Chains A and B, each alone.
Chain A
Amino acid sequence: MTSHASIFTRLSNHGYFTVGGAAFIALLFAFVFIQGGYLLTVMQLAMIYGLFCVGLNFFMGYTGQASFGQNAFAAIGGYGTAILCVEYGWEPLLALVVSMAIAGIASVVVGYPTLRLRGHYLAMATFALGLITYDLSVQWTSLTQGYMGYSGIPPLGLGAFTVEDERAKLVCLMVILLIGLWVSGRLRNSRFGRALRAISTSEQGAAALGIRISHYKLAAFVIAALYASAAGSLFAHVVGFISPEVFGLQMVVVTFTMLYVGGIGTVLGPAIGAIIASLLPQILRSSGRFQDIAYASILLLLLIYVPKGLSALSGIGRSRPAEPNTNSADRKVVHRPIQPSTSKTAVGAE
């Protein structure tokens, strides 16, 4: 393990992973763009799942909480947009925004009591939320049309302008994902993001610094729900059809895999994980009936050798000091007395 780690570290310190990774993703896009066909659809779905995972990362990665129920908010987005567009003839973009607002309100209503729970209890509560939503989408046929689902959902667009070409759809989704990543990166390194990450490390430690834990957890939950809802709406517009299965348990499993493969808690990890985990089964198709075994084996190897996710490869060793971590006694430690001039305004004496 150590030798593998040192190889990764050496490669990473030279920036090979960053440059190589960026080049690989760019080539992949170029290939898919030129190739067209089914791979285009796979990549479109990867972008949508990527957006979902970027949101999930707020709650699970930055804040360190467990949620098995974000698919519920994707369902709200998907069904919201489908009903508003098909039944009431709304503009897709407006339907997407309104669905996000509904998902946001629902997440506050559900999150406020649920987020008092911690650890496994929170995981189970959110899991139940996903199951309830799935059951509603099956049983509430007057609203959701049950297993029949909704078809004929119009493509994304505004007024007379619609995005119908498959390549244009991919570009559009990529831009939306990049915006989602940009927002995620900005928030992660903001006061808000630091508070979330502090909660992830130690709730008590964060509270001792004045951070109101329950508010921040709820905020992260709502953000995750907004992203999930947007992903659900986009799915409906891109595919043109939704049914309860789209937002079922499979979605939870797939997005968890993406999050961990890409790197939970990192900015780019969710997107990288979504792309790799979506394309991998297509690449492994040639292995025929061993496809699932090959897929699972690769996931296992990734989890063993790159436990922090693929995106972490570019950051290994970066934030660590060049010198080894030594005992405090071995390092010169400097203390400076407080200057008399700062006596009354000195830190802590205010």
Chain B
Amino acid sequence: MTAGGSPLPALIEVNGLSASYGHIAALKPVDLRVEEGEFVTVLGPNGAGKTTLLRAMSRLIASTGKVKFKGQDISGLPTHHLAKLGIIMVQEGRGLFGDMTVRENLLLGAYGLGSSGHETERRFEQVFRLFPNLRERAGQVAASMSGGEQQMLAVGRALMAGPKLLMLDEPSLGLAPKVAAGILNTLGELNRNGLGILLVEQKAPLALKLARRVYVLSSGSVRAELPAHEIKSHHDLARFYFH
């Protein structure tokens, strides 16, 4: 709420967003919102439409419905424009540029900064402080790094863009539990510093610890929207998945 009492527009607000692959409706009209500085998690089984949701929000696939960012209608904007607004997505499988070095990948993250060398260096330092491994491997080709380091690089590259909303598609996928926990905890830290996060995950316990609110997605539809602390067990989730 603002000082005057009028409600602030949501960081991102999705109304009736739907997408399909050919004749198959992968995402039925979905409503979702993330407030400023909020950590929201989308949970769901395989094939629930979680990735499609993020890709539709990023305009990486064609979709119908309304998307508002800080009250501004961004439904028709192309992907590169959304990035400039500060909506940054870490894709499933990390989406790194494997032939490029860690430093080059990070520089691409800061693409929107143009030729501002000073600001780029400042962001480098902040990313390296979060993930010291990346500093050590700055000259190394991204494809040659371990899965955990690649995921750090993917998050680091997204942070180089100075996001206002960070959307992550299963960042823990294929990682050892300890490494995945480390990365998710870093996301928690970022959120505590004011960054809005929309996390798509299958590893419910980790995601629920960090999130304030949870959307449960199944068969392309939102089955439930509830505070994260209300989900105590897998049994609770299964209830939504299959009801």
- Partner-B contacts on A (CB < 8 A): 191, 194-195, 197-198, 201-202, 204-213, 319-321, 325-331, 333-339, 342-344, 346-350
Knowing A319-B101, A350-B162 are in contact, say whether A208-B130 is a contact too (CB < 8 A).
Answer: no
Q: Which of A207, A212, A344 contacts B193 (CB 8 A)?
A: A344
Knowing A210-B84, A334-B133, A347-B123 are in contact, say whether A320-B194 is a contact too (CB < 8 A).
Answer: no
Interface of A is mostly: loop
Question: In the complex, what residues of A have CB within 8 A of residue B60's CB?
Answer: 204, 207-208
Q: Is the CB of B91 within 8 A of A325?
A: no
Q: Could you pull out 15 A-B pairs where Cβ atoms are within 8 angstroms?
A: A197-B97, A198-B100, A205-B97, A208-B83, A208-B91, A211-B80, A213-B80, A321-B144, A328-B146, A333-B133, A335-B186, A336-B132, A347-B159, A348-B158, A348-B166
In the complex, what residue of chain A is closest to B131 when comparing beta carbons?
A335
Bound-state CA distance A343–B58 (Å) is 27
Q: Does B129 contact A (CB under 8 A)?
A: yes
Q: Can you list, as one digit per residue, whether each of B154-196 has a CB less than 8 Å from chain A (1) or not (0)?
A: 0001111111101000000001101100110110011011110
Q: Is the CB of B146 within 8 A of A339?
A: no
Q: Is the CB of B58 within 8 A of A208?
A: yes
Report how many residues on chain B are interfacial, defined by Cβ distance under 8 Å: 69
Bound-state CA distance A205–B99 (Å) is 14
Q: Does B49 contact A (CB under 8 A)?
A: no
Knowing A333-B179, A334-B132 are in contact, say whether A349-B144 is a contact too (CB < 8 A).
Answer: no
Q: Does B148 contact A (CB under 8 A)?
A: yes
Bound-state CA distance A319–B102 (Å) is 11
Question: In the complex, what residues of A have CB within 8 A of residue B176's CB?
Answer: 327-329
Knowing A328-B146, A328-B149, A349-B194 are in contact, say whether A201-B175 is a contact too (CB < 8 A).
Answer: no
Question: In the complex, what residues of B have CB within 8 A of residue A349's CB?
Answer: 190, 193-195
In the complex, what residue of chain A is closest to B120 when comparing beta carbons?
A191
Question: In the complex, what residues of B have CB within 8 A of residue A191's CB?
Answer: 107, 111, 114-115
In the complex, what residue of chain B is closest to A340 when comparing beta carbons?
B193
Q: Is the CB of A348 within 8 A of B79?
A: no
Q: Is the CB of A328 within 8 A of B95?
A: no
Q: Which of B58, B140, B182 contacts A335 (CB 8 A)?
A: B182
The count of A-to-B residue pairs whose CB atoms sit within 8 angstroms is: 166
> Which of A321, A330, A333 has most chain B Cβ within 10 Å?
A333
Q: Is the CB of A348 within 8 A of B148?
A: no
Question: In the complex, what residues of B have CB within 8 A of residue A204's CB?
Answer: 60, 79, 91, 95
Which B residues, 58 to 102, have Cβ-Cβ distances below 8 Å to chain A?
58, 60, 78-81, 83-84, 88-89, 91, 95-101
Q: Is the CB of A333 within 8 A of B152?
A: yes
Question: In the complex, what residues of A have CB within 8 A of residue B80's CB?
Answer: 207, 209-213
Q: Can you list, as one digit per residue, whether each of B30-64 has a CB less than 8 Å from chain A (1) or not (0)?
A: 00000000000000000000000000001010000
Q: Is the CB of B162 within 8 A of A348?
A: yes
Bound-state CA distance A2–B243 (Å) is 53
Q: Which of A321, A331, A335 contacts B183 (CB 8 A)?
A: A335
Knowing A335-B185, A338-B130 are in contact, say whether A325-B144 is a contact too (CB < 8 A).
Answer: yes
Whole-angstrom distance between the Cβ of B1 and the nearest chain A Cβ: 20
Q: Is the CB of A347 within 8 A of B162?
A: yes
Knowing A209-B109, A328-B176, A348-B166 are in contact, say whether A342-B97 is a contact too (CB < 8 A).
Answer: no
Bound-state CA distance A319–B140 (Å) is 6
Q: Which of A198, A338, A350 contacts B189 (CB 8 A)?
A: A338
Bound-state CA distance A331–B192 (Å) is 28
Q: Does B112 contact A (CB under 8 A)?
A: yes
In the complex, what residue of chain B is closest to A206 when comparing beta carbons?
B108
In the complex, what residue of chain B is closest to A265 when comparing beta carbons?
B99
Bound-state CA distance A328–B178 (Å) is 10
Question: In the complex, what residues of A have CB within 8 A of residue B84's CB?
Answer: 210
Question: In the complex, what residues of A have CB within 8 A of residue B217's CB?
Answer: none
Q: Is the CB of A320 within 8 A of B148?
A: no
Q: Is the CB of A201 within 8 A of B97?
A: yes
Q: Is the CB of A210 within 8 A of B163?
A: no
